[in-house]
A = this chain, B = another copy of it.
Amino acid sequence: MVSIKDVAREANVSTATVSRVINRQSNTSSAATTAVHQAIAKLGYKTSSNKQSANMIGVMVSDVSEPFFGQILKGVESVAQKNDKRLLVLSSQYSVETERQAIKQLVSYCDHAIIHSKWLTDDELIEYASQIPGLILINRYIKSIRHRCIALDNVHGGYIATRHLLNKGHRNIGCLCSEQDIDDAVDRLAGYKQALTEFGLTIDEQFISSCYPSEEGGRLATYNLLAKKLPLTAIVSYNDIMAAGALAALAENGIKCPDNISVVGFDDLIIAGYLNPKLSTVRYPAAAMAEQAARLSLKLTGQNESDQSSFIREHILIPSFVKRNSTSVCSTQT
């Protein structure tokens, strides 16, 4: 256990100065301050080493009120509870700076941190990961620290969504994309293309429409597709929310789902089961993923007695398909 004393030695100051720096109180010279901060980073010192931090497992998500993140909290909480640990929650509110501050806090307060970072660069995350062994990245894959990442195989997700439609005879499949430049968006699109290619079909960019990943975005992207008068019989969507927008756009235009056009979502949010028709979608096992992340975190700090280094499989989860009522066999045979 690295103490304030070690930090003091490393920074060539007294323990009192370190204490002052940590608590941001009274005046300390900037030289001493930076020296202390460097020493803290180097040694991986954590405040409240008085055992409190060992009992805390921290989570950072974008917004605690979103159902998807609720699942993640639940997953982490369940293993926290089993291991008699407390759950510390912070959110980034979709802001880079808030996200950075949150992670810094987590790193300094907790031995374990499950982080869903949307905005920080790989390099910055690698840096934080190096500070505590219990930091796990969720829904993100960084090769150089892949043993610290738990992610979903989004390519496969896009693939099975598209594949499901192909198997039902659909050949003219539109794709609603997220215009955000993040991994899951490009991966899911790649899965869509892979499925088509594998089926011997050529990819027509006309069938791909990008918008902001909201309900309104889904509606707009669908309008754009419809405007082109393509022989569309099915649509795969970046996520359930956009799919909800697509369903609304179709309904407004008298196009019946699934009779005329089938729709597939992604995520399997609660709303999927309440849409009309109930949405066929790809299940994102968020809670399971979070559980696994939490267990991995415990394992990496040796809390988890058993299998210290036993099974080190790739931490990539495979999504599965959920068939509901928004997809059917293609009626317009070509």
Choose from B52, B67, B275 the contact partner of A52 (Cβ within 8 Å).
B52
Say if the beta carbon of A45 comes within 8 Å of chain B: no
Say if the beta carbon of A151 comes within 8 Å of chain B: no
Determine the residue in chain B with the shortest Cβ distance to A24: B84
A:255-274 near B, CB below 8 Å: 270-271, 274
Say if the beta carbon of A302 comes within 8 Å of chain B: no
Choose from B69, B87, B271 the contact partner of A90 (Cβ within 8 Å).
B87
A281 → B minimal CB distance (Å): 13
Which of chain B's residues have a CB closer than 8 A to the CB of A222?
A: none
Give how many A residues have a beta carbon under 8 Å from the other chain's beta carbons.
29
Say if the beta carbon of A276 comes within 8 Å of chain B: yes
A:61-114 near B, CB below 8 Å: 63-67, 69-71, 73-74, 77, 86-91, 105, 109
B77 and A73 form a contact (CB under 8 A): no
A86 and B105 form a contact (CB under 8 A): yes
Which of chain B's residues have a CB closer than 8 A to the CB of A63?
A: 74
Q: How far is the CA of A290 from the CA of B47 in the complex (A)?
A: 29
Q: How far is the CA of A254 from the CA of B294 in the complex (A)?
A: 48
Which of chain B's residues have a CB closer than 8 A to the CB of A65?
A: 67, 70-71, 73-74, 287
Q: How far is the CA of A6 from the CA of B257 in the complex (A)?
A: 70
Which of chain B's residues have a CB closer than 8 A to the CB of A270?
A: 67, 270-271
Choose from B48, B87, B271, B276 the contact partner of A50 (Cβ within 8 Å).
B48
A88-B91 contact, Cβ under 8 Å, with A70-B66, A270-B67: no
A90 → B minimal CB distance (Å): 7
Choose from B48, B66, B89, B287 the contact partner of A87 (Cβ within 8 Å).
B89
Q: How far is the CA of A87 from the CA of B271 in the complex (A)?
A: 28
A:107-150 near B, CB below 8 Å: 109
Say if the beta carbon of A160 comes within 8 Å of chain B: no
Say if the beta carbon of A244 comes within 8 Å of chain B: yes
Which of chain B's residues have a CB closer than 8 A to the CB of A244?
A: 274
Q: How far is the CA of A275 from the CA of B74 in the complex (A)?
A: 25
Residue among A50, A52, A70 having the largest count of chain B Cβ atoms under 10 Å = A70
Give the 3 A-B CB pairs with smallest separation, nearest first.
A276-B276, A65-B74, A65-B70
